[in-house]
Amino acid sequence: MPTTPSLSPVFSDYVRAKPKLERYVQAKFPRLCRGHVEDAVSAVGLALVMNPTTFQMLHNLKDPSRLLGLFKRVAWRAARATVRRRAYSAERAFEHEDDVHLGLDAAQPLTLALRRDLEKIVREAATETSPPQTERLAAAVMDQLYGGGTDGEVAERHGVRREYVNRARQQVTRHFVSPPPSGSRPLTSATLARTPCR
């Protein structure tokens, strides 16, 4: 019967590294609450129990930085998964915006106006990147913005080239980072009041 390697030394390394891991996760994901940070660090302990061989192998190399690097990678991925789940949940709340009253009477027109603006910017970027695939490319970029995932994953889901997703997303990013064109007026509450809400 195969035996699992002893986890005691590796687990001791994990327990000693927990404060560092918590600081690391909090620095990488500053908006995560303390509980979610602790959950991400606890995921390292779970991974240690589920796949002891990988951790034991790094421990046997007697290079603590490599083992700590693996601990950090596991904690970072767990924290990222939490952030994505929270973003997805928030997106689902707005999915049926015409059917659901959100209780945000003053903010709702602003949220809807901003979302429509984003969709328009993404559509323009998709049209400029690949006119024949505008619809699928725009859907892929919106999927990536709201749901996450790599360019390759999103491209595969929507049947477009990864390069196109990357170019369109970069163009959307440049739109928000570059200064506004001269003569353009900033978005004000008066402008929003004139924006019809569908």
Q: What is the pLDDT of residue 72?
A: 94
pLDDT digits (tens, 9 = 90+) for 56-96: 888 888 888 999 999 999 999 999 988 888 766 655 555 54
Domain boundary among 68, 94, 120: 94
> Which DSSP category does 181 fall into?
P
Measure the CA–CA gap between 107 and 57, rounded to whole angstroms. 53
**118 and 178: one domain?**
yes
Q: What is the pTM of this model?
A: 0.44
Q: What is the pLDDT of residue 114?
A: 78
Asked whether 126 and 133 are in contact (CB, 8 A), the reply is: yes
Domain boundary among 43, 64, 94: 94
Asked whether 165 and 140 are in contact (CB, 8 A), the reply is: yes
In a domain, 186, yes or no: yes
**80 and 31: one domain?**
yes
Q: What is the pLDDT of residue 21?
A: 95
pLDDT at 101 over 50: no
**18 and 85: one domain?**
yes
**117 and 88: one domain?**
no
Q: What is the pLDDT of residue 187?
A: 47
**21 and 77: one domain?**
yes
**73 and 125: one domain?**
no
Q: What is the pLDDT of residue 1?
A: 38
**69 and 112: one domain?**
no
Domain boundary among 36, 70, 94: 94
**70 and 147: one domain?**
no
In a domain, 190, yes or no: yes
In a domain, 101, yes or no: no
**187 and 141: one domain?**
yes
Q: Total structural domains in the chain?
A: 2
pLDDT at 111 over 50: yes
pLDDT at 189 over 50: no
Show the domain range for 86: 8-94
Sequence-ordered alpha helix ranges (H) in 95-133: 108-129
> Which DSSP category does 178 fall into?
S
**67 and 133: one domain?**
no
Q: What burial class does residue 81 get, using C-beta atoms within 10 Å of its C-beta: 0-12 exposed, 13-18 middle, 19+ buried?
A: middle
**66 and 138: one domain?**
no
For residue 72 the two structure tokens come to 């950090």
**77 and 127: one domain?**
no
Measure the CA–CA gap between 102 and 93, rounded to whole angstroms. 8
In a domain, 160, yes or no: yes
Cα angle, residue 114 at apex, residues 109 and 118 outer, rounded to 5°:
150
Q: What is the pLDDT of residue 198?
A: 32
